[in-house]
Amino acid sequence: MIVVLSSGQGRTFEALARKLPAGAIGDVISNVETAPVRAKARALGIREQCVENADYPSRALHEDAIFAALQACSSFSVIALLGYMRIFSATALQRIYQRWPQVRIINLHPAPPSLYKGAHGLAHAIAVRAPLWGVSVHEVTEHLDSGPLLAYRPLPVLPTDTFESLRERAHPLEVEAVVETLETLARRSPT
């Protein structure tokens, strides 16, 4: 089972939820009270929780609350960061992996991992007029967007592309990359 962490619209989450077998995604945790992903989860009958950043005076306390939210989730083998706009500290990652040693934490990244680190990869591709870009899924480690690559989809940047047009063309590739990653992880999982 999968737990999705998301901060925003939830487009990839929604597409994934519609593509995967019913029940594959057990829970959604958001860190933004008003994030549309929350309503999308409820509409799909998927349990959702919010652990709002602003409710915690420090990163450590917020990560403690995320950990508590994970403990309240159904059994899971994957935590998928799909538009989750927070970076886990090394301490938080160690704590998660100690509590759930078989869990894999994956991150959908809007860039080729060797070319751009951070949240604004598609905007960067437009700004530098990169002829070829891509979307990737990698395993989460303590180093930002540097974990082992699990899936990659190339994405040409057209001379006429805007951020919006590139984002629209990237979206189905993001879904494909996440599905491929989940299928690969399921095959590797001990039975």
**Beta carbons within 8 Å of 168's beta carbon, 6+ residues apart:** none
**Tell me, what's the pLDDT at 175?**
94
Q: Rounded to a whole number, what is the largest CA-CA distance in the chain?
A: 48
Does residue 191 register a pLDDT over 60? Answer: no
Q: CB–CB of 12/82 below 8 Å?
A: yes
Over residues 154-166, the pLDDT tens digits come to 999 999 999 999 9
Q: CB–CB of 84/70 below 8 Å?
A: no
Q: CB–CB of 31/6 below 8 Å?
A: no
The CA distance from 183 to 189, in Å, is: 10
The CA distance from 57 to 70, in Å, is: 20
Tokens of 151: 């899936």
Please count the other Cβ atoms lying within 10 Å of the Cβ belonging to residue 30. 26
Mean pLDDT of 149-178: 95
124 is catalytic: no
Does residue 189 register a pLDDT over 80? Answer: no
pTM above the 0.85 mark?
Answer: yes
The CA distance from 86 to 76, in Å, is: 21
User: For residue 147, what pLDDT band results from cuts at 50, 70 and 90?
Assistant: confident
Over residues 93-136, the pLDDT tens digits come to 999 999 999 999 999 999 998 888 888 999 999 999 999 999 99
Helix (H) or strand (E) holding 77: none
Q: What are the residue boundaries of the structural domains of the chain, listed by start?
A: 1-102, 110-138+152-191
User: For residue 89, what pLDDT band results from cuts at 50, 70 and 90?
Assistant: very high
Name the residue among 104, 108, 103, 111 with its Cα closest to residue 177.
108
138 backbone dihedrals φ, ψ, rounded to 5°: -135, 160
Over residues 7-39, the pLDDT tens digits come to 999 999 999 999 999 999 999 999 999 999 999
What angle is formed at CA 86 by the lines to CA 81 and CA 90, rounded to 5 degrees?
90
Enter the CATH code of domain 1-102: 3.40.50.170
Catalytic-labelled residue, pool 109, 120, 143, 171? 109
Does residue 144 register a pLDDT over 90? Answer: no
**Beta carbons within 8 Å of 45's beta carbon, 6+ residues apart:** none
